[in-house]
Amino acid sequence: MPRRKVEFFSLSFLDVVCCGFGAVILVFTILNAVFGGNYRPVNEDLRGEVDRLEEEVLVGHQNLVELRNSVLSTERETVLASGLSQRLIDTLTEVQEELATFEQSTLARREHVEKLKTDIKTLENEVKRLSAAAPSEETPGDRLRSFVGDGDRQYLTGLKVGGRRILVLIDTSASMLGDDVVNVVRRRNLADPMKLRSRKWRQAVATVDWITTQFPRDASFQIYGFSAKATPIVPGTDGQWLDAGSREVLDGAVQNLRKVVPAGGTNLFQGLSVISALRPPPDNVYLLVDGLPTLGKRPPSRTTISAKDRLRLFDEATRELSGRIPINIILFPMEGDPIAPSAFWKLAMATDGAFVTPSSDWP
């Protein structure tokens, strides 16, 4: 009997394979039915989370750009601040150098002042020694007071101090603070101690001091200051003559004058009216002034005044003067007042007085 042929892929094997494949499909179908309903919500939640994270990343990028811009702006400001700081440091260095120079200059000036004080003390002692050795009998006209100037500059050419009753009139208006309008305006707003140190005013006071050293001993004197009004330098002596033979009276008058602070306008009418108010009248007048008046007998109607108006006020003030009393003019010229020298020179010539314009380093 012939052998039977063996076949690997028989009908039974195919059935088994098909049944297994069907079982797999069934299992997949069951699992899909069980878990398929929950897949979509989870997927949607994850997508929402992803969208949120993407939005945060976008916002983060925007903030990062703003921060970078802020950093760049801060760096530019830092560079500017560094440059400004360097300029301030350089300025501070310059100021410190100038301050050091100023301190050295101040120290040198102090040493110079101390040396001058020592020299003055030596001169005072020498004067006392010479005074003690002087004869006891002195003739009229010998000086009670001395004035120490620079070298031989203790003189005024053409001006002789004399008379039995001597009147000194000194302009105490604000214009005595400077030689021009700009300096006058600047100095009149300073404190009183600074005003008293003005060069022009100190020179005027020193001139009065020099005049008092020339008074005859048997004479009488009076010193008036005038600005808007005329007042005696020694309080309580209005209309009175003082004794030129008393050194205490002379020293007191000069010391009082050193305390007067120039202020206000110039009223020459008030100053010259003192001449007629004194009884008996003076026989010699010394007028220290720097320019034409700005005020007159009546209050001004305007806040400004022209050169023509000032000349009119000058004529008004001098109209009542008598030619018998010499008016000696000591003029400290004011820049911008060219008519003043001519006007005061004519006044001095008309009264047989002297006209002098001292140098800036006198007396």
Same domain, residue pair 294 and 204 = yes
State the residue range of the domain holding 184.
155-356
Same domain, residue pair 234 and 284 = yes
Q: Is residue 147 in a domain?
A: no
Same domain, residue pair 103 and 243 = no
Same domain, residue pair 108 and 168 = no
Same domain, residue pair 81 and 219 = no
**Tens place of pLDDT per residue across the chain (363 aa):** 556 655 555 556 677 778 887 888 888 788 777 665 555 565 677 888 888 888 888 888 888 888 888 888 888 888 888 888 888 888 888 888 888 777 777 777 788 788 888 888 888 877 777 765 554 444 444 556 655 554 344 454 556 778 899 999 999 999 999 998 888 888 988 999 999 999 999 999 999 999 999 899 999 999 999 999 999 999 999 999 999 999 999 999 999 999 999 999 999 999 999 999 999 999 999 999 999 999 988 887 777 888 899 999 999 999 878 778 999 999 999 888 889 999 999 999 999 899 999 887 777
Count of domains observed in the chain: 2
| Predicted TM-score of the model (pTM) | 0.59
162 and 229 Cβ atoms separated by less than 8 Å: no
Q: How wide is the angle at C-alpha 36 spanned by C-alphas 35 and 37, nearest 5°? A: 95
**Residue 37 phi, psi dihedral angles, 5° rounding:** -70, -30
* Distance (Å, whole) CA 321 – CA 272: 8
The enclosing domain of 167 has a CATH number of 3.40.50.410
Q: Which of 72, 104, 125 is the last residue in one of the domains?
A: 125
203 and 259 Cβ atoms separated by less than 8 Å: no
Same domain, residue pair 186 and 118 = no
204 and 215 Cβ atoms separated by less than 8 Å: no
Q: Which of 83, 108, 125 is the last residue in one of the domains?
A: 125
Same domain, residue pair 269 and 325 = yes
